[in-house]
């Protein structure tokens, strides 16, 4: 009986009694269950980012019309479009004798006009009387003072203005 009590006490302590009645550690065979983890699915390809749109330097927002032209939906305050007397629902058909086909054409043709002497011409369909108008103007780049840019030694931002704007009905 003493042997049984001793064996139980040793088992509680994690030991076992050997044949020569000494204590030895109990060796337990640990079985680790096998966990099958499926392969992770490959990450989907990232969606391509849309091409960044140029800021509205002329100050018009809108969309390219099928077949050509840029339908103006709004005019931004303080931008050259106000100088050119453009209004929402007008359609810019041409800039410097080039047909406007995409949203980016407006800024592209404006930049080209600025680099090629600074004169902008536009053919615009007016929404009020459905008449075509030729608008011509000189493009002037005006430096804006930005205290933060100045303090950081950065280039001062520039804003475009139109001067000597002439609007006449197209023939």
Would you state the pLDDT for residue 94?
95
What is the rounded distance in angstroms from the CA atom of residue 121 to the CA atom of residue 165? 10
Beta carbons of 62 and 53 less than 8 angstroms apart: no
Say if residue 75 is exposed, middle or buried (CB neighbours under 10 Å; 0-12, 13-18, 19+): buried
Bridging pattern class, strands 119-125 and 98-99: unpaired
What is the rounded distance in angstroms from the CA atom of residue 26 to the CA atom of residue 20? 15
Q: Specify the CATH number for the domain of residue 113.
A: 2.30.42
Same-domain pairing of 8 and 68 = no
Is residue 42 in a domain?
Answer: no
Is residue 52 in a domain?
Answer: no
Query: Per-residue pLDDT tens for 11-36?
Result: 655 555 555 555 555 555 555 556 66
Would you state the pLDDT for residue 1?
57
Same-domain pairing of 68 and 132 = yes
Is residue 119 in a domain?
Answer: yes
Same-domain pairing of 6 and 68 = no
Would you state the pLDDT for residue 33?
58
How much is the pTM? 0.60
Of 107, 118, 102, 122, the closest CA to residue 58 belongs to 107
Chunk the chain into consecutive blocks of 10 residues (it has 171) and report each block's average pLDDT, rounded to whole numbers. 58 58 54 63 61 64 92 90 92 95 90 86 94 90 61 63 87 78
Same-domain pairing of 136 and 89 = yes
Report DSSP state, residue 130.
Answer: -
Would you state the pLDDT for residue 73?
94
Same-domain pairing of 21 and 77 = no
Is residue 41 in a domain?
Answer: no
Would you state the pLDDT for residue 114?
84
Same-domain pairing of 67 and 9 = no
Same-domain pairing of 65 and 125 = yes
Is residue 45 in a domain?
Answer: no
Would you state the pLDDT for residue 98?
95
- CA dist 70 to 18, 66, 117, 142, 147, Å? 96, 9, 24, 26, 36
Would you state the pLDDT for residue 124?
95
What is the rounded distance in angstroms from the CA atom of residue 171 to the CA atom of residue 147? 48
Same-domain pairing of 18 and 64 = no
Would you state the pLDDT for residue 52?
46
What count of other Cβ atoms lies within 10 Å of the Cβ of residue 55? 9
Host domain of residue 77? 60-169
Is residue 154 in a domain?
Answer: yes
Is residue 46 in a domain?
Answer: no
Same-domain pairing of 77 and 9 = no
Same-domain pairing of 68 and 150 = yes
3-class state of residue 95 by DSSP: strand
Same-domain pairing of 145 and 82 = yes
Is residue 142 in a domain?
Answer: yes
Same-domain pairing of 78 and 128 = yes
Structural domain count, the chain: 2
């Amino acid at each position: 009986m003493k042997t049984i009590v001793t064996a139980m006490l040793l088992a509680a302590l994690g030991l076992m009694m050997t044949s020569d009645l000494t204590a030895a550690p109990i060796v337990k065979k640990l079985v680790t269950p096998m966990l099958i983890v499926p392969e992770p699915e490959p990450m989907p390809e990232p969606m391509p980012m849309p091409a960044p749109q140029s800021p509205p330097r002329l100050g018009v927002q809108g969309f390219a019309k099928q077949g050509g032209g840029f339908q103006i939906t709004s005019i931004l305050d303080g931008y050259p479009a106000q100088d050119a007397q453009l209004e929402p629902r007008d359609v810019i058909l041409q800039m410097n004798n080039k047909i406007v086909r995409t949203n980016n054409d407006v800024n592209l043709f404006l930049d080209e006009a600025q680099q090629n002497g600074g004169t902008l011409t536009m053919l615009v369909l007016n929404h009020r009387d459905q008449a075509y108008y030729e608008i011509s103007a000189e493009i002037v780049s005006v430096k804006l003072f930005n205290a933060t840019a100045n303090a950081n030694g950065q280039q001062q931002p520039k804003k475009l203005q139109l001067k000597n704007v002439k609007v006449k009905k197209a023939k």
